[in-house]
Every structure is written in C-alpha cells, then in structure tokens.
C-alpha cells in the first residue's frame, strides 16, 4: 500500500501541482525538509510510535524520494514535443530538488539508526556511499551559480550521472528489500529499474533513428 500511495503522491505533485511546484518551489523544498526533520525527531523522541513508523516507511526508507526521482527520470523517456514531456519538463528541476532533500532525510535516517541489518551483506554500505556521492554531485551541480560556472556542455555531461544514480538506486532498493525478506518491494524496485532501462533504450534508439533520417533528408 505504501508503494501505491507514494507513486500516487509523486504523480499528483508532478502533474496536478505542477503550477505551484514551478512557481513556488521553495514551499515544496520547505515541506520536504520539514518532513525529514519531523521523521528524525520522531525517531529520536518517540521511537516505535505510529507516526515514527509511518514516517520511517515513507521518508526514512527513501520510498517517496525514489518515486519522485522516478518521475524525473521517466520524463526523458517521453517523445520530444509530446504534451506530457513538455508539462513535466517544466517541473523536472524543482521535482528533482525536492526528491534530493527527501533523499538526504533518508541518508540521515540510516545514519541515526546506525543498525545495518547483517542480511544486507558487505556491499550494502559501499553502495550507499556511492549513491550519496552521486547525489551530492548531481545536486551540487544543479545550483544555478554552479551550473553557469560549469558551462552548458560540461553540465550536461555531468548530469548524465543521473542515469547511473537511478539504476543503482533501483538495484539498492531491490537488494535491500529482497535481503530482508520483502519480495513485494524488491519486485517494485526491480521492475522500475528494468522498465526504465528498456524505455530509455527505446527512446534513445528512436532519437538515433530520427537523427539519421533528418541527416539523410538534408543531403
């Protein structure tokens, strides 16, 4: 149920709330930060309470952040010029920033809890570190001043790390869920990663085909 609710929330925020997300993005950043703070406060002050368990499920485990990142990544899979892509592209940046703030909450939750399940294996922590580094790089280079200093070409190359970040996040989520005996969530993360990879590859092949046709026409 949590996965369905977070998926619906991601769609509502990115589509139905597109206008305020674009024009009043600071409100969403503040709300995301407040949720993270409330989750950490509940973990420290009222552990095992109903609120703490709900916050841990949606924020602490990174589920809401992942669903928002999924919308960001799948936006690039839609056909250029299509209505849905045009609409989502307008909120892609603030949506990614909101997801990044929630991801920081997830990282802090794991850090505060500091009780890594031994079933996750020795590769779990290194994978978390890799994801955290990628998040810092992608988030840091999205700051307008940094982006301007880098230049458009260099910035675009750096942002390609988002492909690696998202696919590693899918593997990370699938592994963590499967290792701890949660086949449903594991299937959710794995299916998302597989569908994204297939959809992105299809979109890339379509772009290559259109480029080749346009090049042939101009000859």
Q: CA 6 → CA 45, 71, 145, distances in Å?
A: 25, 11, 32
Does the pLDDT at position 113 exceed 80?
no
pLDDT for res 142 = 86
**Helix, strand or coil for residue 13?**
helix
Does the pLDDT at position 219 exceed 70?
no
What is the spatial distance between Cα 84 and Cα 68, in angstroms, rounded to a whole number? 16
Mean pLDDT (whole number) for 24-34: 95
Give 126-174 pLDDT, tens digit per residue. 888 899 999 999 998 888 888 889 998 999 999 999 999 999 999 999 9
Residues in the chain: 219
pLDDT for res 157 = 92
pLDDT for res 218 = 61
- 54 sits in the region (left: phi over 0; alpha: psi -120 to 50; else beta) called alpha
Mean pLDDT (whole number) for 199-204: 89
Winning range, highest mean pLDDT, from 5-9, 28-32, 111-115, 212-216: 28-32
What is the spatial distance between Cα 154 and Cα 26, in angstroms, rounded to a whole number? 27
Q: CA 87 → CA 136, 168, 194, distances in Å?
A: 27, 27, 25
Supply the pTM of this predicted model. 0.89
């Amino acid at each position: 149920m949590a996965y369905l609710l977070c998926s619906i929330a991601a769609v509502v925020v990115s589509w139905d709330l597109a206008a305020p997300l674009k024009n009043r993005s600071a409100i969403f950043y503040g709300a995301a930060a407040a949720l993270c703070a409330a989750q950490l406060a509940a973990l420290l002050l009222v552990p095992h309470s109903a609120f703490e368990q709900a916050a841990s499920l949606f924020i602490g485990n990174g589920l809401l952040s992942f669903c928002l990142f999924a919308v960001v990544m799948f936006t690039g899979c839609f056909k250029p010029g299509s209505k849905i892509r045009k609409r989502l592209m307008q909120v892609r940046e603030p949506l990614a920033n909101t997801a990044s703030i929630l991801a920081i909450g997830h990282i802090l939750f794991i850090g505060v809890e500091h009780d890594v399940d031994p079933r996750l294996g020795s590769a779990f922590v290194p994978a978390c570190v890799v994801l955290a580094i990628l998040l810092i790089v992608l988030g840091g280079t999205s700051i307008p001043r940094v982006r301007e200093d880098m230049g458009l070409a260099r910035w675009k190359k750096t942002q390609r790390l988002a492909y690696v970040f998202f696919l590693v996040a899918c593997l990370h989520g699938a592994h963590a869920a499967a290792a701890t005996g949660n086949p449903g969530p594991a299937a959710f993360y794995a299916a998302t990663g597989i569908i994204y990879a297939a959809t992105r590859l299809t979109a890339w092949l379509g772009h290559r085909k259109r480029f080749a046709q346009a090049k042939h026409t101009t000859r």
